[in-house]
Amino acid sequence: MLDSALQFARTNKQAHLTRLCDWLRIPSISTLPEHAGDVRRAAQFAADFRKEMGMTSVEIRETAGHPLVFATWNGSDRTSPTLLIYGHFDVQPTDPDHEWTIPPFEPVIEGGNLYARGASDDKGQAMAVLAALESYLKTSGELPVNVKVLLEGEEEITSTNLFPYLRQHAQELRADAILIVDQDMLDPEHPVIMWGVRGNLYLEIEVRGPAHDLHSGTFGGSVDNPINVLVRLLSKLQHGDFRKILVPHFYDKVEELTEEERDLIAQASINDQIGMHLTGAPSLGGEAGYPLAERVSVRPTLEIHGIAGGFSGEGMKTVIPSKATAKVSLRLVPHQDPEEILDSLHLFLKSHCPPTVKMDIRVLGKAHPVKIDYNSPAVRAAEVAYERGFGHKPVYLRGGGSLPIVHEMIKILSKPDHEIPIVMIGFGLPDDRTHSPNEKFSISNFHHGIETVIHYLDQFMTV
């Protein structure tokens, strides 16, 4: 059963790649309302493939937002364990568009890589899972374990409608472990098992001053400029030299690592040289006093993702704008609570906001940080699968990104006496430029990934 599945995967490499390219041609950008139809088309594409391969049931499920696709295979006997697999088919926006060297939704293969928006995050990785299932079903007509696959279309907009769905369908989704395939390896020889993710608090801050734009000659000196005020407020959030976040009580619940945890993270070959290479920055930055591997995974951050106000065209305009806005997020680490951080930040900014302007803070997204028991058998099974699928032992790392669903799945799908193990693996690479122009996915990682999932399903029989 295992061997014939592996054989199928090897002889159908081109077919799997072609199918992925077809999926990537659908511009399923979940954050842009004008692409809602495309997100639905991407759902339908995944549903059609799973029907064709012979899953027991495949359904497109509606939500208040974009739909999701749920499929099951329950042909194994009742004593077989059940694995819930999660992935997503929505993608990030493509701006700045002029920096793409190819149209983002017309996949191009070059130098062993597949270039397209979503190639790595997450259609390429989700397709590796689907191709692994197909490899079993098209050869043996069955899977080694019972499987439920849930693919959503709102991961890039914090899975808002997945949460009520999970609560409403907790019984149907019951499983012995959850496999999430949506992350990077360190490099082609170092796959990663992720034993946690950072949380996130994503805000939009708006400062409004005069009722309309004013000429800075006539009115300069009479009012506070909303950009000047916004810049001053934002600058108060973070220390200029040590990059510490200055929101009161921000670090109160941040735990220091144990020696064992610190050693585990230190084993990963993440060093400044690699950081310089991957980012192209003049020199590295971030919080003082912690090594790079910890700064990007177990330490909180504050990033201004976007700022806008006034005139930014060519040339000069001597305007005092009526408003300015910024998009800001804080990455949170166990056991920081997004709600508590929000309250504290809100009070802090209010206390510094002058009466010359009005300030609004809108919450665009929230995700809890999570820490996973890396000694759970379902997690350790991934180590074997990686070794056989890639020929390399994985490293155990904490993830710097945020997957809001991880915390929600644990909360909703755990049994009262036992926290459900979450197994986080993935086949991306750090230079895949996910969320940026010219996103790519390594084609050899795609094929090794398919084999890794085939091995994981085989290993999962015994957990």
* CA–CA gap between residue 330 and residue 245 (Å, rounded): 9
Shortest CB 204 distance to a copy of itself, Å:
9
Peptide bond into 210 cis (omega under 30): no
Residues contacting 372, CB < 8 A, separation 6+: 194, 195, 196, 379, 421, 422, 424
Shortest CB 460 distance to a copy of itself, Å:
27
* CA–CA gap between residue 211 and residue 209 (Å, rounded): 7
Output 152 or 458, the one with its CB closest to a copy of itself: 152
Output 200 or 442, the one with its CB closest to a copy of itself: 200
Output 273 or 375, the one with its CB closest to a copy of itself: 273
User: Would you state the structure tokens that stand for residue 23, as one six-digit string?
Assistant: 């999926």
Shortest CB 19 distance to a copy of itself, Å:
26
Output 331 or 388, the one with its CB closest to a copy of itself: 331
Amino acid at 305: H
Shortest CB 403 distance to a copy of itself, Å:
9
* CA–CA gap between residue 128 and residue 233 (Å, rounded): 45
Question: Are residues 457 and 145 in contact, defined by beta-carbon separation less than 8 angstroms?
Answer: yes
Shortest CB 296 distance to a copy of itself, Å:
5
What is residue 456's three-state secondary structure? helix
Question: Are residues 86 and 177 in contact, defined by beta-carbon separation less than 8 angstroms?
Answer: no
Shortest CB 137 distance to a copy of itself, Å:
33
Residues contacting 147, CB < 8 A, separation 6+: 72, 73, 82, 83, 84, 85, 133, 457
Output 16 or 198, the one with its CB closest to a copy of itself: 198
User: Would you state the structure tokens that stand for residue 410, as one six-digit string?
Assistant: 């644990």
Shortest CB 228 distance to a copy of itself, Å:
5
Question: Are residues 228 and 431 in contact, defined by beta-carbon separation less than 8 angstroms?
Answer: no
* CA–CA gap between residue 153 and residue 88 (Å, rounded): 6
Shortest CB 47 distance to a copy of itself, Å:
25
Residues contacting 3, CB < 8 A, separation 6+: none
Output 264 or 461, the one with its CB closest to a copy of itself: 264
Q: How far is CA 338 from the centre of its chain?
A: 17
Question: Are residues 310 and 321 in contact, defined by beta-carbon separation less than 8 angstroms?
Answer: yes
Question: Are residues 86 and 425 in contact, defined by beta-carbon separation less than 8 angstroms?
Answer: no
Shortest CB 275 distance to a copy of itself, Å:
5
* CA–CA gap between residue 303 and residue 282 (Å, rounded): 18
Output 428 or 449, the one with its CB closest to a copy of itself: 428
Output 144 or 449, the one with its CB closest to a copy of itself: 449
Nearest Cα neighbor of 121 from 461, 441, 346 is 441
Q: Please, what is the end-to-end C-alpha distance for the chain in angstroms?
A: 18
What is residue 18's three-state secondary structure? helix
Output 5 or 119, the one with its CB closest to a copy of itself: 119
Shortest CB 359 distance to a copy of itself, Å:
10
Name beta bridge partners: 321: none
* CA–CA gap between residue 431 and residue 296 (Å, rounded): 15
Output 81 or 334, the one with its CB closest to a copy of itself: 334
Output 253 or 352, the one with its CB closest to a copy of itself: 352
User: Would you state the structure tokens that stand for residue 93, as one six-digit string?
Assistant: 């926006």
Shortest CB 254 distance to a copy of itself, Å:
13
